[in-house]
């Protein structure tokens, strides 16, 4: 598939925005008094952060 430069720039912008939100979500859950209660949400958010970091690296290669 071919993507324009603008498409790639916008995709990176969206990924960066989502990464920021996920990192803030992780901080929020980890700071809660009963953070063990949110363990699955924290794990999911961390896995998503890693996936988006990989996506960002792949975008940089194009």
- pLDDT tens digit sequence for 11-47: 999 999 999 999 999 999 999 999 999 999 999 999 9
Distances (CA, A) of 27 to 2, 38, 46, 54, 61: 37, 11, 11, 21, 30
Q: What is the DSSP string of 9-48?
A: HHHHHHHHHHHHHHHHHHHHHHHSTTGGGGHHHHHHHHHH
Total domain count, the chain: 1
pLDDT of 62 > 80? The answer is no
User: Residue 43's domain spans which residues?
Assistant: 5-61
- Name the pLDDT band for 1 (thresholds 50, 70, 90): confident
């Amino acid at each position: 598939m071919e993507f324009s430069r603008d498409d790639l720039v916008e995709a990176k912008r969206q990924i960066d925005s989502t990464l920021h939100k996920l990192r803030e979500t992780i901080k929020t859950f980890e700071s809660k008094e009963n953070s063990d209660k949110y363990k699955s949400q924290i794990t999911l958010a961390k896995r998503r952060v890693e996936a988006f970091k990989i996506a960002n690296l792949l975008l940089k290669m194009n």
